[in-house]
Amino acid sequence: MFSSQDSALRPDRVIHIHSAAPPKPAYGQACNGCGVCCLAVPCPLGMLLSRRRQGACAALVWEGAAGLYRCGAISQPRQAVQQALPRRLQWLARPLSCLLARLARRWIAAGQGCDSRLDVQRPADIADNATTHSQDLHDR
Ligand code: SF4
Ligand code: SF4
């Protein structure tokens, strides 16, 4: 569970994240698949695939063997499209997933640096801050 702060999001939001996920790198550093950005709010493509504008992206996939999150629009386009389509439109999954597989990497700028300015605090960081603060109060 992480607390995140960003001007475009509700301050002090809590998001749930796999305990084995790597820590979020600084803005501009290489993306390490921490998943924070996609768990906080879907990108425009994620809004389509998730059919919502807030919360975690439904296309985000946790890969346990690698210990990181991947964008399902790239790594599992068929599943990403299937879960987004209503049952009566499932026949579109195959052609749309072929299209998605071709375009997703370009749309989401995969392979580039971290483009998230979210400020993340793990529960342990928050507990440390609280301990420090109570110590400060105690010392007065
Ligand atoms: S872009 Fe940044 S926040 Fe998003 S998964 Fe990559 S490293 Fe994490
Ligand atoms: S990059 Fe992929 S997983 Fe992340 S929000 Fe966009 S569509 Fe979803």
What one-character-per-residue DSSP string does 5-38 give?
Answer: E-TTS-TTEEE---TTSPPPPPTTSBP----HHH
Minimum-distance ligand 1 atom for the alpha carbon of 34: 8
pLDDT at 7: 46
Percent share of the chain, pLDDT over 70: 79
pLDDT tens column, 47-85 = 999 999 999 999 999 999 999 999 999 999 999 999 999
Q: Give the pLDDT mean for 33-41.
A: 95
Residue 74 near ligand 2, beta carbon < 6 Å: no
Residue 102 has pLDDT above 90, yes or no: no
More confident residue, 136 or 57: 57
Residue 49 near ligand 2, beta carbon < 6 Å: yes
Residue 59 near ligand 1, beta carbon < 6 Å: no
Computed over every residue of the chain, the mean pLDDT equals 85
CA distance 106 to 22: 24
Minimum-distance ligand 1 atom for the alpha carbon of 32: 7
Q: Whole-prediction pTM value?
A: 0.83
Q: Whose CA is nearest to atom 7 of ligand 2?
A: 46
Residue 32 near ligand 1, beta carbon < 6 Å: yes
Task: Of 135, 80, 137, 136, give the one whose Cα is nearest residue 107.
Answer: 80
